[in-house]
Homo-oligomer: A and B are copies of this chain.
């Protein structure tokens, strides 16, 4: 989804001269070609890297980690390498280990969908969204400028920060809601009166758990690679949860209303 959408958006903006989609699934790549997301495609990674000026690793984070050494080895010093993953620390460290700190710029567009695949590509996906860049101490200014120009061209607002700060913050802003959705669905799956429950599950449950339809391999990989920050965010949530539980158990109307009102204010502010 992200790779095909970025190809479509970058081609439309005229910022990418020639986009080659590389993957394992020819059908998905053919879909990307048919939809105008790429100019050509290949299932041969090494051959495709020959002469590339920019490589975008639009794959799950664990896949990016395993591909990085080969990508660095088969591209020249002037080739900029970037990614789009939701965890930045391990990928930046791997790029540095592979000897590509100067030409690797970690990136994370705050855009996506519960859907995967080129069939859902959308050239407008990044418009008005934040794209985070996490350059390292020795990343070259030219490399940063190249990646920044790409995200600006597709309509995003670029925000630069340290990879550790990124990972700690997205643990709360993105990974936490995902884990909540999975656990809400898990709670229903473990319910002893499932038949009745199915009759009484309505729009609210479906809305709050919709993120649980996302690709589980991608999210398992994120949970493994950003474990400590996610556990920290989960524990922060548990504190809020315990406070609300206590207020409800005590029948403390004022405390319940105060928690709900503050939460509603925060949530309403996000739509402004």
Contacts and interface: CB of A to CB of B under 8 A. Distances in A.
**How many chain copies does the complex carry?**
2
Contacts of A259: 182-183, 186
A263 B212 contact: yes
Interface string A178-207: 111111111111110100110111111111
Given A169-B196, A231-B245, A249-B227, A183 B240 contact: yes
A262 B187 CA distance: 10
A211 B204 contact: yes
Contacts of A207: 177, 207, 210-211
A223 B256 contact: yes
Contact of A178 (B204, B209, B223, B253): B204
Nearest to A218: B260
Interface in A217-272: 217, 219-220, 223-224, 227, 230-231, 233-241, 243-245, 248-249, 251, 253, 256-257, 259-268, 270-271
B212 A173 contact: no
A129 interface: yes
A126 to B, nearest CB: 11
14 contacts: A111-B203, A113-B203, A159-B199, A161-B196, A169-B196, A173-B197, A177-B207, A180-B184, A180-B208, A186-B266, A187-B233, A190-B240, A209-B263, A237-B241
A112 interface: yes
Given A211-B207, A234-B245, A266 B169 contact: no
Interface in A143-161: 159, 161
Given A212-B267, A262-B189, A263-B182, A110 B245 contact: no
Given A186-B259, A191-B236, A179 B212 contact: no
